Amino acid sequence: MVARLSRMKKTPSPLSAADWIAAAMDAIVRDGVSAVAVEPLAARLGATKGSFYHHFANRDALIQAALEDWERSQTEAVIERLELIPDPGERLRAVLAAAYADRQGGVRDAALFASATHALIKPVVQRVTDRRIRYFTDMYVRMGLSKPQARRRASLLYLSYIGLFEYLRVGLADMTAADLRDHAHEVLGRLVSER
């Protein structure tokens, strides 16, 4: 009996919506939004199209779910954690340290930013960008900058982050984790501490 059971094939566990969402985001980062197609994703995941349609009505629904997951986990959840830090300068330092330590996250953000001409991606990237810049602006205001100065500084901070990771994403530079950390401390760190 034991020998018979060991010879039986284990059926793979069904894929969750989260599995499809992760695969869609990987495809967007790797090859752009056009790479999010049901059949290639199913093949990559070792699944059937039926598994896909169990979770999503169509390709656009998958892309929308991936974007909503990104917005929730990489903006709103991050801001909630940052709110536990009472000092606004320390909050900005913490977000910088985390952002530059997460190379994969930075490349993902840059890839989505680069795909923002797509009709589904544009409104979400705009919402995330506005939310992040508003949050950074508020921190700078709390640190004593005027609203226009704070908005300018916040925009520079965010666009520098996106620009650096876009530069890395397209392979124009190769930076180690130490290089990214040094960049955050030496260049963008000034945007936090200078008034």
CATH number of the domain encompassing residue 176: 1.10.357
The number of domains in the chain is: 1
pTM of the entire structure? 0.83
Q: What is the pLDDT of residues 124-134, one digit of tens each?
A: 999 999 999 99
Angstrom distance (rounded) from CA 34 to CA 119? 12
Whole-number average pLDDT of the chain = 86
Range of the structural domain that residue 87 is part of: 67-193
How high is the pLDDT of residue 93?
A: 85
28 close to 14: Cβ distance less than 8 angstroms: no
Residue 144 covered by a domain: yes
53 lies in a domain?
no
Answer yes or no: is 158 within a domain.
yes
- Amino acid identity of residue 121, one-letter, is I
Helices and strands of the chain, counted as H and E runs: 12, 0
Residue 152 lies in a domain: yes
Q: Please check whether residue 170 lies inside any domain of the structure.
A: yes
What's the average model confidence in pLDDT over 11-26?
Answer: 86
Find all residues with CB under 8 Å of 78, minimum gap 6, and list them. 95, 98
Only one residue has tokens 């923002």, namely: 116
Position 118 in a domain? yes
pLDDT at 10: 47
pLDDT digits (tens, 9 = 90+) for 49-98: 999 999 999 999 999 999 999 999 999 999 999 999 999 989 988 888 88
